[in-house]
Amino acid sequence: MSKIPSISSDTMTLTRHVLAQQKLAKNATGDLTQLLTSIQTAVKVVSFAVRKAGITQLFGTAEKTNVQGEEVKKLDVLANDLFINMLKSSYTTCMMVSEENENIIEVEAEQSGKYIVCFDPLDGSSNIDCLASIGSIFGIYRKETDEAPSPSLGLQPGNKMVAAGYALYGSATVMVLTTGNGVDMFMLDPSIGEFILIESQMKIPLRGKIYSINEAYENKWEPAIKEYVKNKKDPSKGKPYGARYVGSMVADVHRTIKYGGIFMYPITTDAPKGKLRLQYECNPMAFIVTQAGGLATNGKIPILDVVPTSIHERSPIFLGSKEDVEEVQALINQHAN
């Protein structure tokens, strides 16, 4: 007699988890819960679209470029519109910063709330058509003043974030979330359309065995980075590390959290400020990795302490296992002196 697959009557969904966390928060009105639940809805639809893209002609380009000068894919446009619409209709945000929009997105007064959301609706979209993993990344800030929305409100340092998360559209769709009390992972069960808690209080290993960097740029790195990567391959310096690089930040960071090691996108001679964007790539990932016990630096100071000067500011980033990040930081400091 085949065993009936167990169907729990008490599954911990993302919705239930976030509501339970709200109840632990003093004087919470429910706005953050409503905001996170709206993001969850956007992610569910993006996940469906990503998996149907090949069938519904959603592969390919939208025949335009974004503020970054990057070619925009059809799925980029859909994901961006979904995030904007779900966030606006949550009545909890006053302003948004999106990778796809040059200017801030203001929410009209009748729908406005106290949160500011910085997001990359679909990160790694150059990987869409070849079915490599892609993701969505978001960071949530509280509006600190009564002033009207303006770009300066989108320039809070990462250490002011209330919550951050990412969705990974990989072999399964997962959401990884922190609200400042550790990191939790939820997997989408397509059969019921719910995100299910599969890992609580995720912890990144103290040290890993994998380094992740685009080695095509080796000749454009600073000497410290060249030396660090060379050391990772040199048996005389210890057991050599493995190299992994998807070229999709969410996939590379998620692997780094799960297995340990280090993800790096340093400055290069072509990108003297780095490539990755501080507000909606580096900061959310730095908050999550730090909450999981890891480190995230720009090579000089913790990413979360950087005070942004523009909403699309780029930053170098070294994030991952504490000992791995400390090792590359020590080499950078040595070369600087």
Does 90 engage in binding with ligand AMP (CB under 6 A)? no
Q: Minimum distance between the CB of residue 304 and ligand AMP, rounded to whole angstroms?
A: 16
User: Which residue in 75, 67, 123, 127 sits closest to 100, CA to CA?
Assistant: 67
Residue 123 or 184 having the CB closest to ligand P6P: 123
Scanning residues 24 to 43, which ones bind ligand AMP (CB under 6 A)?
Answer: 25, 28-33
| Per-residue binding letters, 166-205, with ligand AMP (x by CB under 6 A) | -------------x--------------------------
Q: What is the DSSP pairing of strand 93-98 with strand 115-123?
A: parallel
Q: Which amino acid is at 230?
A: K
Residue 124 or 284 having the CB closest to ligand P6P: 124
Does 124 engage in binding with ligand P6P (CB under 6 A)? yes
Interacting stretch for ligand AMP, rule CB under 6 A, among 22-30, 93-101, 260-268, 303-311?
22-30
Q: Minimum distance between the CB of residue 260 and ligand AMP, rounded to whole angstroms?
A: 27
Report the number of secondary-structure helices (H) and strands (E) in the chain. Answer: 7, 15
CB 165 within 8 A of CB 39: yes
User: Could you give the CA distance from residue 206 to residue 34 in angstroms, rounded to a whole number?
Assistant: 35
Scanning residues 164 to 223, which ones bind ligand P6P (CB under 6 A)?
Answer: 214
User: Could you give the CA distance from residue 207 to residue 221 in angstroms, rounded to a whole number?
Assistant: 23
Q: Which of 248, 279, 283, 315 binds ligand P6P (CB under 6 A)?
A: 248
CB 167 within 8 A of CB 118: no
Scanning residues 35 to 74, which ones bind ligand P6P (CB under 6 A)?
Answer: none
Q: What is the DSSP pairing of strand 262-265 with strand 317-320?
A: antiparallel
User: Could you give the CA distance from residue 328 to residue 334 in angstroms, rounded to a whole number?
Assistant: 10
For ligand P6P, the binding residues (CB under 6 A) are: 123-124, 126, 214, 247-249, 252, 275-276
